[in-house]
Amino acid sequence: MPIHVAAEQGDFAPVALLPGDPLRATRIAARFDGGLDKARLVSERRGLLGYTGTVDGVPVSVQTTMMGTPTTSIVVEELLMLGVTTFIRVGTCGGFGRLGIGDALVAMSAAASTGLGGVLGQGEATAPTADYSVVTALEVAAKAEGLVTHVGPIVTSDVFYDPNPAGAVRWGRRGYMGVEMESAALFLIAMRERAKGRPVRAGAILTVSDVIVDPDDPSATRIDGEPWFRPAEDEVVRRVDLTIGAALKAAAALGRG
């Protein structure tokens, strides 16, 4: 049984949203049918808050993962033990190219620039890929919410403050659309389970909270003349809340299916 996600069989719905931030988990649960009063707190050990409720009558859970692939992998492995089969990461990312603050980015795949990628891949190359049905549901829901929506490859990195002289822009130059710190582990674990014949699927919808501009691209839009921009935190929260609405709609649709 799970060690870190302190819950029992039946506590979690088959569909779970995965934010990194425990405060975001609570905000998501507050948007379940009946609000936070109707949501059931099913996990809180180590601050890993988890809630279960319904969205449009469909059972849905939300579970905190914290930051990075190590804690994300622990949480996902333990949710698998508890019967979760559909995972939707709901987070933020730095966006490359022409992406703007507040845009929604649905990840098709996530390059594993992370130590855990080597562990899960047993030292061989990996291709962490989201489930097509989850990608489609997230794209449809995001567009229905009126969000500027992008679908494409991202990077999962262990490093936030990158010491590489080329910085994170090197990924944008290769065609990746954004960078974050969790999705590759989620995708690899879900792929492994599908290879075992289990109906496990995963996807990720990310709010662009930072814009990373290539300094060598003269046509790129710069905000206040800077190559990197992040708005005030209350504005980030407002934009993330819009993406949460899309994630909840997609979760309900996937739960019905």
- Which tokens hold the place of 170? 């090197």
Helix (H) or strand (E) holding 94: strand 86-95
Separation of alpha carbons 235 and 244, rounded Å:
14
Tens-digit pLDDT profile for residues 204-233: 999 999 988 887 776 665 555 566 677 778
Given 210, 216, 217, 241, the catalytic residue:
210
Is the pLDDT at 165 greater than 70? The verdict is no
Question: For 43-66, what is the HEC assignment?
Answer: ECHHHCCEEEEEECCEEEEEECCC
Q: Residue 88 sits in which domain range?
A: 15-256
Give CA torsion, residues 18, 202, 239, 178, to 10 deg. Answer: 120
**CATH at residue 218:** 3.40.50.1580
Average pLDDT estimate for 99-127: 94
- Which tokens hold the place of 61? 């859970």
The residue written with tokens 């934010």 in the block is 19
Return the percent helix, strand and coil in the chain, to nearest 5: 35, 25, 40
Separation of alpha carbons 49 and 6, rounded Å:
10
| Residue 183 DSSP label | H
Average pLDDT estimate for 67-79: 97
Average pLDDT estimate for 15-38: 97
Residue 6 placed within a domain = no
Separation of alpha carbons 91 and 207, rounded Å:
6
Residue 27 placed within a domain = yes
Separation of alpha carbons 200 and 101, rounded Å:
31
Residue 172 placed within a domain = yes
Residue 154 placed within a domain = yes
Nearest C-alpha neighbor of 5 from the set 39, 40, 50: 50
Average pLDDT estimate for 22-39: 97
The residue written with tokens 């990628």 in the block is 117
Residue 4 placed within a domain = no
Is the pLDDT at 108 greater than 90? The verdict is yes
Phi, psi of 164 (to 5 degrees): -65, 130
pTM: 0.94
Nearest C-alpha neighbor of 61 from the set 73, 53, 69: 53
Q: How many domains does the chain have?
A: 1
Determine how β-strand 58-63 pairs with β-strand 15-18. parallel
Give, in order, the Cα–Cα distances in Å from 48 to each of 18, 53, 70.
11, 17, 14
Q: Is 210 a catalytic residue?
A: yes
Nearest C-alpha neighbor of 102 from the set 93, 115, 113: 93
